[in-house]
Chain A
């Protein structure tokens, strides 16, 4: 019996209007990604990488098509249910860190659990310790380097122990040495069973992934899976889209 994919997109389209011109951020995209994959999304700016991540993370909804994550149809959830889905299942890591400037590193990590009864504060300290930031916990983002900020953001993404990590250009604003550390950390997280999807321009980072999707104009233009894993599948709709080109 075929395995149920962890992430499944069926004929997903999403359009925006930029300066009055319609832009197809995702154009009839169909793909599936298995649990435990570490997938790199590559492609030029405007190819639809961030939109794809936003769809999978329940931050945005498609104009048409279906987005399933862990058996849950995100396109059928209302905003409150999507927020709950994000809190429990997704850890976001952004290019510009997106930390709250008024809070310390420690408090930033606690933001996702602010309204929880059991805040597991020791977990926040452990995560920051794991990120090598045990001496920087009480510093605000403005007092931290780019690499340190990104590590705080990673600790925050892991606070709820989500099965899925989505990273949008996580090494886009940091030096190559810190980038290597972050890639190595991502590999560790993947080895621990987390599914990682990262949009990146960084070839070194993409080279460490188990699979790679190349995107162009809201479509998948190429796919590469390492011998260890061939977990990314393109559906028939995608082939039809490509055939029309």
Chain B
């Protein structure tokens, strides 16, 4: 007989649900990973350009480890270094706008993904409510799942998505048909903090908003919903 868990917690509940619905969990994770990958890329471009050029050597060492063909990249980094203050400022503003845009799009993608998940589980929410769990307790179950998915997506986006996107930018650089990507992506420490906070924030807020309305409705109506 298998060992039963010592405590039955939100985590046990969430992990059981994710294990039981493997395909859905993978779909959500991949969707969020791609979304967060783009978010991290935009943020990295922003930080790369906005940060002081002292970090160039640091950036280069990171890129050297991760990017296989970097000759052209460094040539373009030199262009970057020679960029006038006015051009750099214009690019920073453009990237700031892009970051806000990507954040907004990410929010709607995550919100829709979570809203779909909550919709699929209306009946389950009704059962939990009927058994005496309060709306806030059920919301906490969803927030824990949203937070966990957000964390896994962020880590995956960072370790899987970033190298892919970096390679793509190098490929575009080598083709030389884009002026945008000559701003080489960088991974400064503040990127980790800001991307983590924005990824988790987006996930938790969108999960909360997606769950709030349905969880608050009548348990009787929720239980009548078809799966």
Residues of A that sit less than 8 Å from B by CB = 54, 57, 59-60, 79-80, 83-88, 90, 92, 94, 98-104, 106-107, 110-115, 119, 121, 137-138, 140, 156, 160
Contact B220 A112 (CB under 8 A): no
- Contacting A114 at CB < 8 Å: which of B8, B21, B136, B219? B8
Listed stretches B45-53, B63-71, B125-133, B155-163; interface member: B125-133
Contact B8 A107 (CB under 8 A): yes
A selection of 19 A-B contacts at a CB cut-off of 8 Å is: A54-B220, A57-B130, A83-B135, A86-B132, A90-B132, A100-B128, A102-B16, A102-B20, A103-B13, A107-B13, A107-B16, A110-B8, A111-B8, A111-B128, A114-B133, A114-B137, A115-B133, A121-B8, A140-B20
B9 at the interface (CB under 8 A from A): yes
B1 at the interface (CB under 8 A from A): yes
Residues of A within 8 A of B12 (CB): 107
Contact A111 B131 (CB under 8 A): yes
State the CA gap A1–B123 with chains docked (Å): 45
Number of B residues, CB within 8 Å of A: 33
State the CA gap A115–B135 with chains docked (Å): 13
State the CA gap A106–B218 with chains docked (Å): 27
B109 at the interface (CB under 8 A from A): no
Q: Contacts A59-B220, A80-B135, A101-B20 known; A86 to B4 CB distance under 8 Å?
A: no
Question: A94-B223, A114-B137, A119-B7 known; 9 other A-B pairs, CB under 8 Å?
Answer: A59-B130, A59-B220, A80-B135, A83-B133, A87-B133, A100-B124, A102-B17, A107-B12, A112-B131
State the CA gap A90–B19 with chains docked (Å): 31
B2 at the interface (CB under 8 A from A): yes
Residues of B within 8 A of A138 (CB): 1-2, 4
Which residues of B in the span 1-49 have a Cβ within 8 Å of any Cβ on A? 1-2, 4-5, 7-10, 12-13, 16-17, 19-21
- Contacting B9 at CB < 8 Å: which of A86, A90, A92, A114? A114
B104 at the interface (CB under 8 A from A): no
State the CA gap A54–B127 with chains docked (Å): 13
Residues of B within 8 A of A160 (CB): 132
Residues of A within 8 A of B132 (CB): 83-88, 90, 112, 160
Contact B21 A102 (CB under 8 A): yes
Residues of B that sit less than 8 Å from A by CB = 1-2, 4-5, 7-10, 12-13, 16-17, 19-21, 123-124, 127-137, 216, 218-220, 223
Residues of A within 8 A of B4 (CB): 106, 121, 137-138
State the CA gap A27–B1 with chains docked (Å): 52
Contact A59 B219 (CB under 8 A): yes
State the CA gap A4–B216 with chains docked (Å): 34
State the CA gap A111–B12 with chains docked (Å): 11
Interface centre among A102, A104, A113 (most CB of B within 10 A): A102
Contact A60 B218 (CB under 8 A): yes
Closest 8 pairs between A and B when the two form their complex, measured CB to CB:
A87-B132, A102-B20, A86-B132, A110-B8, A83-B134, A102-B17, A98-B127, A102-B16
Contact B134 A84 (CB under 8 A): yes
State the CA gap A227–B75 with chains docked (Å): 99
Shortest distance between the CB of A59 and any CB in chain B (Å): 5
State the CA gap A102–B117 with chains docked (Å): 14
Shortest distance between the CB of B176 and any CB in chain A (Å): 52
- Contacting A92 at CB < 8 Å: which of B123, B124, B131, B134? B131
State the CA gap A102–B124 with chains docked (Å): 10
Residues of B within 8 A of A112 (CB): 131-133
Residues of B within 8 A of A115 (CB): 133, 137
Q: Contacts A80-B135, A100-B124, A138-B1 known; A114 to B13 CB distance under 8 Å?
A: yes
Residues of A within 8 A of B127 (CB): 98-100
Shortest distance between the CB of B125 and any CB in chain A (Å): 11
Interface centre among B9, B10, B16 (most CB of A within 10 A): B16
Contact A87 B219 (CB under 8 A): no
Shortest distance between the CB of A127 and any CB in chain B (Å): 14
- Specify the chain A residue showing the minimal Cβ separation from B223: A98
Shortest distance between the CB of A23 and any CB in chain B (Å): 14
Shortest distance between the CB of A58 and any CB in chain B (Å): 9
Shortest distance between the CB of B213 and any CB in chain A (Å): 14
Contact A114 B135 (CB under 8 A): no
State the CA gap A57–B129 with chains docked (Å): 12
Residues of A within 8 A of B123 (CB): 98
- Contacting B130 at CB < 8 Å: which of A92, A101, A107? A92
